[in-house]
Amino acid sequence: MMKMDHRWAWFAGFILVAMLLCNIDIASAQEAAAGAAAAGGEAAAHTAKDKTFLEVFKEGGPVMVFLVIASILVMTFTIEGFFKLNRRKLAPPALVARLRESLASGNYQEAWTICQANRCFLAAVLGAALERIGRGKDQADFSVQESSLREGTLLKMNITYLSVIGVVSPMIGLTGTVIGMIKAFSTLGSSGISNTQGLASAIGEVLVCTATGLVVAIPAFIFFYILKGIATSAILVAESEVYHLLDDIPFDQISGLRIGENFGTESAVPPAAAGAPAAVSQKVSRAMTTNCPQCNAAITPGTNPCPNCGTVLEWDN
């Protein structure tokens, strides 16, 4: 699902830039310069009004290529961010309900399997925590914090790039400005003020590069802070869901339980204390279950054959 969102974000970014290249008109920016250059030049004014973004792009020189690429990245990372950083995608309600049911019944291996089959922020964090529940609550909580930091960093990686683009784009525009000024003074030094067209063209390159760098940088910074806030909020909500799911696990009763690829026990599960409620003992016994590889029904490790489908199973001693 994330890969699909990423492709759609890139597609939308290219479409938006293509629309800009085809449709943006800079008549207001060129009209004043045309009027100052030739008061009676109606043709010159008309030509300046009809300039498109593509023509201005050519005036800006090679630096504009990097600025257009930066603008595509800004649009792509922004659209992708709004797609990915959604609370319902980080912690899907249907997935939360399935995991709550599995954990309430004590089938922790099934909950881990569900996490492996549904790749999202909540599944990744909870799956890592389930692998350590046999080591105690402190280890499970530490795993939640560790996994949450890792998954959150991956989710916010492209948002960080928006900040980088916001810093670098004005510098790229400034580079174009310096190149344009060098051309302007070179034209002025070789032909004097008689070559007004060449001088105006060089100065125009200076202004175009500077303005484009700012046009790219400002939205990049705006969306960086917007998406950063959305990401922080969504991750906190999803992380809170993980802690809620872990609240009802009897860590003291399942000490030594291994969840994951090496499902089993490191040591015998301690018997329930004398006088302990029967529900607690039943929950501990239900915790020691796994899924039949043939019919996927919950069975107790060591059971042979499967009571549901009759398959003869091989267990490691």
Q: Which of 205, 233, 261 is the last residue of a domain?
A: 233
Evaluate whether 64 touches 209 at the Cβ level (below 8 Å).
yes
291 pLDDT higher than 60: yes
| Cα–Cα distance measured from residue 217 to residue 67, given in angstroms and rounded to the nearest whole number | 10
Q: Count CB-CB contacts under 10 A for residue 228.
A: 17
Kindly state the DSSP code that residue 52 receives in the 8-state scheme: B
Query: What is the structure's pLDDT at 268?
Result: 38
pLDDT attached to residue 265: 52
| Pair (167, 224) in one structural domain | yes
Q: Do 46 and 164 fall into the same domain?
A: yes
- How many domains are there within the chain? 2
Q: How many helices and strands, by DSSP H and E, does the chain display?
A: 13, 4
Quick check: 78 and 10 in contact, CB under 8 A?
A: no
What is the mean predicted confidence (pLDDT) over 284-290?
51
What's the Cα-to-Cα distance from 205 to each of 64, 75, 210, 284, rounded to whole Å?
10, 24, 9, 75
Q: Structure pTM?
A: 0.63
Q: Give 227-261 as a 3 state SS string.
A: HHHHHHHHHHHHHHHHHHHHCCCCHHHHCCEECCC
- 189 with 76, same domain: the answer is yes
pLDDT at position 193, please?
64
What confidence tier does 30 reach under pLDDT thresholds 50, 70, 90?
A: very low
Domain extent, residue 182, equals 2-86+157-233
Residues constituting the chain: 317
Asked if residue 288 and residue 212 are part of one domain, the reply reads no
pLDDT band at 161 (very low <50, low <70, confident <90, very high): very high
194 and 285 belong to one structural domain: no
Q: Which amino acid is at 75?
A: M
Co-location of 32 and 170 in the same domain: yes
Residue spans of alpha helices (H) in 50-156: 53-60, 63-84, 87-90, 93-104, 108-117, 121-130, 137-155
Whether the CB-CB separation of 175 and 63 falls below 8 Å is answered with yes
